Structure 1
Amino acid sequence: MKLLKKMTMEIVLAGMLLADGAAASVTVGGTRVVYPLDQREVTVKLNNDSYAPSLVQVWIDDGDPNAKPSEVKVPFLITPPIFRMNAQKAQTLRVMYSGEALPQDRESIYWLNVLDIPPKANRAHEANTLSLAYRTRIKVFVRPASLPGKPEDAPAQLTWKLTASPNGKGQAISVSNPTPYYVSFSEVDVESTGHIFTNKRGGMVAPRASTILPIDAMNAVAAGAKVRYIAISDYGGPIDGDAPLGE
């Protein structure tokens, strides 16, 4: 047990060595996980695309990306939690719902973390090589049975309004979601008087909630503007749509 705790701590500390532009050797087979609550478990496939083995740790958090795996409290078990992945091999994760109470009238969201620790350099010419751990973090949508409607139809039911930017500079758009499904965006554009104002950072709106998305507009959006969006489906594909922008 002490050895496992020590290993877990070392892996978590290694996970802090993340760098922009790094590439993970271990990849997740999908951009999101959908967990139907009427199923006992779902599986997630990992692949090690490199020619070297990796040590991998996986865990689920409830929204805090800085939470340590030993401290998170979520209603899911994931196995195996720590394992070695040989080069050019695959590994299947089993995610199991523990049965704790969750809302039954809307989706809940969690995040799956996959921490990829490459092997240490063991050759003379690799002595000065810096190896970085890489963490992949994707959304886990927990979906109760018998929710009304279809998730792919949810983006078309959103309502959009022009609002002031939260920082007090310029304009933003407020999007309201009357459906029981989360809706994520990869891009949102506002077309107004021949100009296009873009939010390329995307965003997400929770079920039966609203959120504000910034746009690159300084009080330039006029009445009659239109929103064009790219939402993301359960399979990671695009759902293109447009809607009027209210005031």
Structure 2
Amino acid sequence: MLRTKPTILAIVLALCGISVANAAVVIGGTRVVFPAQTRDVSLRLENKGGDPALVQVWVDDGDERSTPTSAHAPFAITPPVFRIDPGNGHALRIVHVGDDVPRDKEVLYWLNVLEIPPKASDAESKNVLQFAFRHRLKLLHRPKDLPSSPDRAVATLRWSIEQGVDGASLKVVNPSPYHVSFNAVDLHTSEGAGSPVSLGGGMVAPGASLGFPLSKDRDSFDTAKVDFVTINDFGATVRGSAAVDR
């Protein structure tokens, strides 16, 4: 499940005696996989709060500043705006309305879910600050009959330590037609004596590469191994490891 956390600003304002609205809408998943052979898919939303919530949804092609009127993506959502009462749920219907997408690899889009809280009943009598919470989920359009399976994509990754103008980096190349998302990447070296270097997370697209900057030059590494945690179609974490070329 995905849920928005309170921001630091919200916590500070709460300590100052100003009321703050909290995110109440819970989304039934951390990503949406859209099979190309399917005309539409559904996603469940639930209102776990005590007040009604107005929700607006749209899909974009990677522009974080997109709005429902400026977004570009071959998808339509019905309905685009709706209300969810406390304790109730709602199923989004996402429809694919375009055909000009690659058929040899996944394409990444983003599903935006904007939660607009109702006006506070005591807004006239005291200071009240309310937030509109925007959730942003990956939407993966997956062509039919891709070679291998998503679970096999991790096994095809190639890891190496590369030297660049700005220093060395741990590079991962993804030859598969699937996106691979990392929750964590840890580099083990012979120098580290068992203490891994934590490099964070990220995502590598099909046929692309991703670099994790290192604090030392490539010649400083003798042997290396990488441990990583990936996120599968269901939002579950899967651990893996691989040797690193240098």
TM-score, scaled to structure 2? 0.86
The number of residues matched between the two structures is 226
Is 1:96 matched up with 2:95?
yes
In structure 1, C-alpha distance between the alignment counterparts of 2:89 and 2:51, rounded to whole Å = 13
State the 1:99 CA deviation: 3.0
Q: Secondary structure at the match of 1:246?
A: coil
Quick one: distance in 2 between partners of 1:218 and 1:94? Answer: 49
Change (3 A) 1:20 1:172: farther
Match of residue 175 from structure 1: 172
Q: Matched residues in 1 for 2:125 and 2:35: separation?
A: 46
The residue aligned with 2:241 is 242
Identical positions, percent: 42
Q: 1:3-42 to 2 correspondence within 5 Å?
A: 19=7, 23-42=22-41
Displacement after TM superposition at 1:124 (Å)? 6.3
The match for 2:216 is 218
Contact 1:109–1:140 under 8 Å retained in 2: yes
1:110 aligned partner: 109
In structure 2, give the amino acid aligned to 1:161: S
Contiguous gaps of at least 5 residues in structure 2: 1-5, 11-21
In the TM superposition, what is the alpha-carbon distance from 1:100 to its structure 2 partner? 2.3
Q: Over residues 112-137 of structure 1, what are the superposed CA-to-partner deviations in whole Å (9 max), with x where a residue is unaligned? A: 00001111111269731211111100
- Where does residue 198 of structure 2 map in the other structure? 198
List alignment gaps of at least 5 residues for structure 1: 1-17
Alpha carbons of 1:191 and 1:21: their partners in 2 closer, same or farther (altered >3 Å)?
Answer: farther
Shift of 1:218: 3.2
Conservation of the 8 A alpha-carbon contact between 1:226 and 1:242? yes
Q: Distance in 2 between matches of 1:154 and 1:239?
A: 12
- Opposite residue 88 of structure 1, the aligned amino acid is G
Residues 43, 124 of structure 1: alpha-carbon distance in 2 compared, 3 angstrom cutoff: closer
Partner of 2:70: 71
